[in-house]
Amino acid sequence: MIPAGVFTSPISKANKDCAPDWTKPWFAWNARETGPELSDLIHCMRTPDFFIAGAPKCGTTAMHRYLHQHPDIFMSEKELHFFGSDLAFASARLNRKDYLRFFESAATEKRIGEAAVWYLYSKRAAAEIRAFCPSARVIIMLRNPIDAMYSLYCQRVYNGNENLRTFEMALAAEYNRKRGISLPPNASNLMGCFYRDAVKFTRQVQRYYTNFPRDNVHVIIFDDLQKDVAGVYARCCEFLGVDDRFRPDFPVVNARQRARSASVRNLLHDPPRSFHWLARALMLRPNRHGGYKGWLKRLNTTHSRIPPMKPELRRRLQEELRPEVQRLSNLLGRDLTYWCNR
């Protein structure tokens, strides 16, 4: 039996810089998790060496899909959220063994990556990723915070995680929600309820600049992705050290989604026990990708344009967020104040 907290393993030269420090308490192995099966896994594993850290509704799903097509890149399933021990989700957090299994099929690719949109929001994820892989490359995707907030609200309404009928009502409820009042029932996570906190990008980016050399952090602005997706992709590949001449398909990803039926959406979001019995009787199996719930959710989904935000609300948010946007501009060395002027 290997003692808890002590582990040595031969690691391939390509991955030696990203070998976790198993002697650190946060990554110490519990003796109950060791054994022949896990030891075999660790001896042959390759672990992620780059991370798309967020932010939500800023193009992370699109970039994940585009990078997944690159022959020199292995991308795991999205939204694993192994890091960020301060984040709270309704679903159980992955343990180390299950997390590493998402990278078992990585072979000869030059880069191994994962993407999780709340890593940027988390106060702990940057330091935890650094402890796991000190030489990691980090991709951060940002957007006009007003548009990001509004898009996040619309997404949460579609997913059944937001029960307030208007964006303005959701913004007004933030003060009470931080005190445990007026929280949406059965939300898969509560971080998304705090729309203003989700777009405080300056302090979020600064945490990664503090934990990694600036050359290891690549910031992408959503506006640039919209204007020149091929160019942004090529620069991202160059940052990762893979062939920047490769061009994947660039489909539109995460187009505005709306539930055809709110009743069906609510049923799928919080199904009664009888629903699962019926699914088992029909031999429909749930899985991490959604299973029968995902299939029914797709049937209940239609695509439409996001209704425009009320002009007076947008103007009010522009003034409110102007100091934050100026701080972000100073941090990035790029003038983004046009976000508050249009």
Q: Which two three-digit tokens encode residue 316? A: 């009010």
| pLDDT higher at 273 or 192 | 192
Which residues share a beta bridge with 303?
257
Residue 78 confidence class, pLDDT cut points 50, 70, 90: very high
Q: Is the pTM of this model over 0.85?
A: no
**Own/partner long-range contacts of 90-98 (Cβ < 8 Å, ≥24 apart):** 90/186, 90/187, 90/188, 90/189, 91/188, 95/33, 96/27, 96/29, 96/33, 97/33, 97/38, 97/41
Query: Average model confidence (pLDDT) for the chain?
Result: 82
State yes or no: pLDDT of 33 exceeds 90.
Answer: no
In the chain, ranges of CATH 3.40.50.300 domains? 46-256+305-340
Task: Average the pLDDT over 293-302 and give the result.
Answer: 54
Comparing 33 with 97, the larger pLDDT belongs to 97
Please state, in angstroms and rounded to a whole number, the distance separating the CA atoms of residues 78 and 320: 32
Q: How far from 283 is each of 234, 267, 291, CA to CA, in Å?
A: 44, 19, 11
Contact call for residues 82 and 97 (beta carbons, < 8 A)? no
Report the distance separating Cα 237 and Cα 63, nearest Å: 11
Higher pLDDT, 245 or 158: 245
Lookup result for tokens 């709306």: 258
Mean pLDDT for the stretch of residues 73-80: 97
pLDDT at residue 130 above 90?
A: yes
Q: What are the two backbone dihedrals, phi and then psi, of residue 106, each rounded to the nearest 5 degrees?
A: -65, 135
Domain 46-256+305-340 is in which class? alpha beta
Given a contact cutoff of 8 angstroms between Cβ atoms, the answer to whether 177 and 193 are in contact is yes
Whether residue 91 is predicted with pLDDT greater than 70 in this model: the reply is yes
How far CA 221 is from CA of 117, 122, 135, 218, 322, in Å, comes to 15, 20, 23, 10, 17
Tell me how far apart the alpha carbons of residues 285 and 300 are, in angstroms, rounded to a whole number. 19
pLDDT band at 263 (very low <50, low <70, confident <90, very high): low
The predicted model gives 235-260 an average pLDDT of 83
